[in-house]
Amino acid sequence: MSWKPFVVGVDASPEAASAAAFAHRTAERVGVGYRLVHATPDVLGPFDLWEGATYLRAVAAHARSQVAVALGGKVSSQVLDEMIVRLGSPAVVLKQAVAQVDAEFVVLGGKHHSTLGRWLGGSTSLNVARTTEVPVLVTAGTPTVIRRVLVAVDLSGAARPTLAAAERYAALFGAELRALSVFEPLPAIPEVGPAYDTTQYYAMSEEFLTRDIWPAIRTKGVEKIVRYGTAVDTILREATDWKADLLVVGSHGKGWAARVLVGSVTERLLNHLPTSLIVVPVSAAQVAEPAEVTLATAMA
């Protein structure tokens, strides 16, 4: 199993130090390189300064010194010297770095944000997960050993690439893999009858899961389970009860309006971060035809 290098988004926070340490151990495990990436605001962007190169060198030197102190010797001096420092937002800078390095995935340190905090300042991990074309691994705390990987899939086109990614990372860490699918209740609309009988809906969903989703799993001995309830709460409970060390989910790339009206499973999981989390991006999810369309057609 060959791996490409990966990039690690860092700042001067303890969470970034934990992510860098995890990335260092993982890189050694698979025998590839990794690059630290730091984004800094372009405070002089509105000005046309001829000494811009000098300014950027000064910013890079200052960033390296701050990150070096924060990492506390968790990475080599060579890795620090090769750190990519660019002006701009973290999501944009990391996307550029991924293209430059031809990276396998992005590693970030997870930080808990309140709803207000996300509205005011945003969340780097969430913004990166929305825009990147490679998986994003967000560490929770200081991960050491990955023994259990839980992958959560629905009946959408994101299921197959998400399962493939989960198998790949479980194999990397030599971890046990469990696959979970959550069947949510049909939405209740006042004064409007349900589109389908609930019993029929669940039966058709489980048949579709068994026929079209579970066969995508190639790893032998994977436990496949179905739970009923709201997606986020059920996934959080399963990850906690099973003591998962890594959770893998797929991103659907919902638009702004959909996230505001119904919320985003990925966004809420990133905010709660029950354990380290891998988000498989929209670009991978678009490889397969959306399965929910097929299910809806079958029930029509």
Handedness of CA 248, 103, 253, 112 (dihedral sign): positive
Q: Is the pLDDT of residue 299 over 70?
A: no
- The whole-number pLDDT of residue 172 equals 92
CB 24 within 8 A of CB 148: no
Query: Please, are residues 79 and 34 in contact by the beta-carbon 8 Å criterion?
Result: yes
Of 9-13, 216-220, 241-245, give the lowest mean pLDDT range.
9-13
pLDDT surpasses 50 at 294: no
- At 283 the pLDDT is 64
Short-list 28, 56, 26, 24, CA closest to 40: 56
**CATH level 2 (architecture), domain 6-139:** 3-Layer(aba) Sandwich (3.40)
Query: pLDDT above 70 covers what percent of the chain?
Result: 78
**pLDDT (tens digit, 9 = 90+) per residue, 120-140?**
345 788 888 888 889 999 998
* pLDDT > 90? residue 100: yes
Split at pLDDT 50, 70, 90, the class of 297 is very low
Q: At what angle do helices 14-30 and 52-71 cross, to 10 degrees?
A: 80
Each domain of the chain, given as residue ranges in start order, spans 6-139, 148-299
Give the model's confidence band at 289: pLDDT under 50 very low, under 70 low, under 90 confident, else very high: very low
Whether residue 147 has pLDDT greater than 80: yes
Percent above pLDDT 90 for the chain: 46
Please give the full DSSP string across 237-256, using - where no structure is assigned: HHHHHHT-SEEEEE-----H
Over residues 132-155, mean pLDDT: 90
What is the CATH number that goes with domain 148-299?
3.40.50.620
Segment 186-211 mean pLDDT: 77
Does residue 70 surpass a pLDDT of 50?
Answer: yes
Question: Looking at residue 168, what is its pLDDT?
Answer: 94
What integer is the mean pLDDT of 243-247? 96
Q: Do domains 6-139 and 148-299 have the same CATH topology?
A: yes
R_g of the chain, CA atoms, integer Å: 21
Confidence label for 287 from pLDDT (cuts 50, 70 and 90):
very low
pLDDT of residue 252: 64
> Which one has a higher pLDDT value, 141 or 249?
249
Between 282 and 265, the higher pLDDT residue: 265
- Is the pLDDT reported for residue 153 higher than 80? yes
